[in-house]
Copies of this chain bind each other. A is one copy, B any other.
Amino acid sequence: MEKKEKTIEMLRQVQAGTLSPEQAALQLKLDPFEDLGYAKIDHHRALRQGAAEVIYGQSKPQEQIEGIVKAMEAKGSRNILITRVDQYKAAYLSEKFSMKYEPCARLAVALPQPVEGRGAIVVATGGTSDMGVAEEAAITAETLGNRVTRLYDVGVAGLHRLLRNLETLMQARVVIAVAGMEGALASVVGGLVDCPVIAVPTSVGYGAAFGGVSALLSMLNSCASGVSVVNIDNGFGAGFLASRINQMEGIQ
């Protein structure tokens, strides 16, 4: 039932005397955005993306995370992503409920369930030091129901490593390019592939790397079309966006 019809229906009930004006006013006020379609979005999201919610773990005490997961579990959620969880919180939480944890990505998946991976996302990194951020992206995408291929340590200073994997890159529906230092990987990959490229600058490097600023600027200035950028070290954001794009339905 469309929103307009729903509102008229309610007003008809008022007209018919089966709903008092006060009750109708309350209903309009209680959640003024319910009738704007918000709840619908949220249900849609859960159904389609295979993951209900994400918990940003960095600033939350472990007891609070535990509470949220328990509450979500009660509502039937599974495969709950918890980002930026250090090892101590992870040890605590893994005693409270079933949980997979990847230390280098500081990422946990609570109440893990097998998820079928669909489509094709490639996560490429410039060096081995970018692996933590890359894994955050990769596991996020996998947990959201995507098939992920990892191409690590294919930085542009050793071009043959990248070119040896051309076929993998070219079959991707989305590529996540993770690199610190000069961040050139995004441009080179962007020039090779024909799909959207999500660039993730990392804080890897020293000196004039300025904690990821150098890579960030490089990626924003990429001369290759089809490249966009997320925040420094934001592996989760890249994985989430890649999932959205990978799971796009074709135009009807």
Contacts and interface: CB of A to CB of B under 8 A. Distances in A.
Given A208-B221, A209-B217, 18 more contacts: A14-B14, A15-B21, A33-B160, A33-B163, A33-B164, A45-B194, A59-B204, A159-B192, A181-B223, A182-B217, A182-B218, A196-B241, A196-B245, A207-B231, A207-B233, A214-B214, A226-B240, A246-B251
A9 B26 CA distance: 13
A222 B36 contact: no
A1 interface: no
Contacts of A205: 221
Nearest to A240: B225
Interface string A86-107: 0000000000000000000000
B220 A207 contact: yes
Given A11-B14, A44-B194, A218 B32 contact: no
Contacts of A31: 160, 164
Where chain A touches its partner, the secondary structure class is helix
A118 to B, nearest CB: 5
Interface of A: 3-4, 7-8, 11-12, 14-15, 17, 20-22, 24-25, 28-29, 31-33, 35-38, 41, 44-45, 54, 58-60, 118-119, 126-129, 155-160, 163-164, 166-167, 170, 173, 181-184, 186-188, 190-192, 194-196, 198, 201, 203-234, 236-238, 240-241, 244-251
